[in-house]
Amino acid sequence: MALLQIAEPGQSAAPHQHKLAAGIDLGTTNSLVATVRSGEAKTLFNKAGQDMVPSVVRYTKDNVIVGHAAAADAVLDPHNTIVSVKRLMGRGFAEINADAEHIPYELVDQSGLVAINTIQGIKNPVEVSAEILATLADTASLTLGGELTGVVITVPAYFDDSQRQATKDAAKLAGLNVLRLLNEPTAAALAYGLDSGQEGVVAVYDLGGGTFDISILRLKRGVFEVLATGGDSALGGDDFDHTIVNWLQQQTGQAKLSHSELRQYLVSARQIKENLSATEQLDFVLPLASGEFKGQISRADFDALIQPLVRKTIRACKQVLRDAGLDTEEIQQVVMVGGSTRVPLVRSAVAEFFAAEPLTSIDPDKVVAIGAAIQANVLVGNKSDHDTLLLDVIPLSLGLETMGGLVEKIIPRNTVIPVARAQEFTTFKDGQTAMAIHVLQGERELVDACRSLARFNLTNIPAMAAGGAHIRVTFQVDADGLLSVTAQEKSTGVSASIQVKPSYGLSDDQVATMIQSSMLYAKQDMQLRLLKEQQVEAERVLEAVSAALNADAALLTAEEKLSVEQALAELATVKQGDNTAAIKAAIEHTNHITDEFAARRMDISIRKALQGHKVDEV
Partner 1 sequence: MNYFQLFHLPAQFELDLTELGTRYLELQRQFHPDKHAAGSERDKLMAVQQAANINDAYHSLKQPLLRAEHLLALRGLKISNEQRSFMEPAFLMQQMELRELLAEISDASDPDALIDEADQQIQQQKKALLRQLQSALDANNPEHDHQAADIIRKLKFFFKLQHELELIEQTQD
What is the set of active-site residues? 25, 86, 184, 206
Q: Rounded to the nearest 5 degrees, what angle is found at the Cα of 170, between the Cα atoms of 50 and 391?
A: 90
Identity of the residue, 65 or 373, whose beta carbon is nearer to partner 1 in the bound complex = 373
Identified binder of partner 1 from the candidate list 173, 380, 464, 506, rule CB under 8 A: 380
List the one residue out of 567, 126, 30 whose CA is nearest residue 337: 30
The residues facing 333 across adjacent strands are 202
Q: How far is CA 30 from the centre of its chain?
A: 15
Q: Residue 403 CB, nearest distance to partner 1 (Å)?
A: 17
Identity of the residue, 69 or 422, whose beta carbon is nearer to partner 1 in the bound complex = 422
Query: Which 299-338 residues touch partner 1, going by CB under 8 A?
Result: 318-319, 322
Rounded distance between C-alpha atoms, residue 547 and residue 545, angstroms: 5
Identified binder of partner 1 from the candidate list 304, 449, 466, 618, rule CB under 8 A: 618
3-state SS class at 79: helix
Identity of the residue, 22 or 85, whose beta carbon is nearer to partner 1 in the bound complex = 22
Preceding omega of 308 cis (within 30 degrees of 0): no
Considering the rule CB under 8 A, would residue 417 count as an interface residue with partner 1? yes
Considering the rule CB under 8 A, would residue 223 count as an interface residue with partner 1? yes
Considering the rule CB under 8 A, would residue 490 count as an interface residue with partner 1? no
Applying CB under 8 A, the span of 131-139, 183-191, 363-371, 388-396 interacting with partner 1 comes to 388-396
Q: Exposure of 372 by Cβ count < 10 A (0-12 exposed, 13-18 middle, 19+ buried)?
A: buried
Q: Residue 457 CB, nearest distance to partner 1 (Å)?
A: 23
Q: Are 63 and 131 in contact (CB under 8 A)?
A: no
Considering the rule CB under 8 A, would residue 373 count as an interface residue with partner 1? no
Q: Residue 152 CB, nearest distance to partner 1 (Å)?
A: 9
Applying CB under 8 A, the span of 94-102, 389-397, 431-439, 454-462 interacting with partner 1 comes to 389-397
Considering the rule CB under 8 A, would residue 615 count as an interface residue with partner 1? yes
Q: Residue 537 CB, nearest distance to partner 1 (Å)?
A: 7
The residues facing 502 across adjacent strands are 454
Q: Residue 39 CB, nearest distance to partner 1 (Å)?
A: 19
Considering the rule CB under 8 A, would residue 155 count as an interface residue with partner 1? no
Considering the rule CB under 8 A, would residue 36 count as an interface residue with partner 1? no
Quick note: the x/- pattern for partner 1 over 577-606, rule CB under 8 A, is --------------x---x--x---x--xx
The residues facing 298 across adjacent strands are 281
Report which residue type is found at 143. T
Identified binder of partner 1 from the candidate list 391, 519, 555, 582, rule CB under 8 A: 391
How crowded is the C-beta side of 599, counted as CA atoms within 13 Å? 6
Q: Residue 180 CB, nearest distance to partner 1 (Å)?
A: 6
Query: Which 91-130 residues touch partner 1, going by CB under 8 A?
Result: none
Considering the rule CB under 8 A, would residue 478 count as an interface residue with partner 1? yes
Considering the rule CB under 8 A, would residue 555 count as an interface residue with partner 1? no
Identified binder of partner 1 from the candidate list 132, 217, 378, 396, rule CB under 8 A: 378
Q: Are 142 and 335 in contact (CB under 8 A)?
A: no
Contacts of 238 (CB under 8 A, 6+ apart): 28, 29, 84, 87, 209, 210
The residues facing 455 across adjacent strands are 438, 501
Rounded distance between C-alpha atoms, residue 136 and residue 384, angstroms: 26
Rounded distance between C-alpha atoms, residue 454 and residue 457, angstroms: 10
Rounded distance between C-alpha atoms, residue 349 and residue 250, angstroms: 27
Q: Are 485 and 427 in contact (CB under 8 A)?
A: no
Q: Residue 145 CB, nearest distance to partner 1 (Å)?
A: 21
Q: Residue 195 CB, nearest distance to partner 1 (Å)?
A: 20
3-state SS class at 507: coil
Pairing assessment for the beta strands 435-441 and 451-459 based on DSSP bridges = antiparallel
Q: How far is CA 75 from the centre of its chain?
A: 29
Phi and psi angles of residue 139, each rounded to the nearest 5 degrees, phi first: -55, -45
Considering the rule CB under 8 A, would residue 537 count as an interface residue with partner 1? yes
Considering the rule CB under 8 A, would residue 551 count as an interface residue with partner 1? no
What is the CB neighbour count within 10 angstroms for residue 284?
17
Considering the rule CB under 8 A, would residue 278 count as an interface residue with partner 1? no
List the one residue out of 230, 236, 208 whose CA is nearest residue 217: 230
For the CA atoms of 92, 94, 98, 102, the dihedral, rounded to the nearest 10 degrees, stands at 50
Identity of the residue, 112 or 381, whose beta carbon is nearer to partner 1 in the bound complex = 381
How big is the site for partner 1, counted in residues (CB under 8 A)? 44
Considering the rule CB under 8 A, would residue 180 count as an interface residue with partner 1? yes
Q: Residue 379 CB, nearest distance to partner 1 (Å)?
A: 4
Binding site for partner 1 (CB under 8 A): 150, 179-180, 223, 318-319, 322, 375, 378-381, 386, 389-391, 415-421, 476, 478-479, 537, 540-541, 544-545, 591, 595, 598, 602, 605-606, 609-612, 614-615, 618
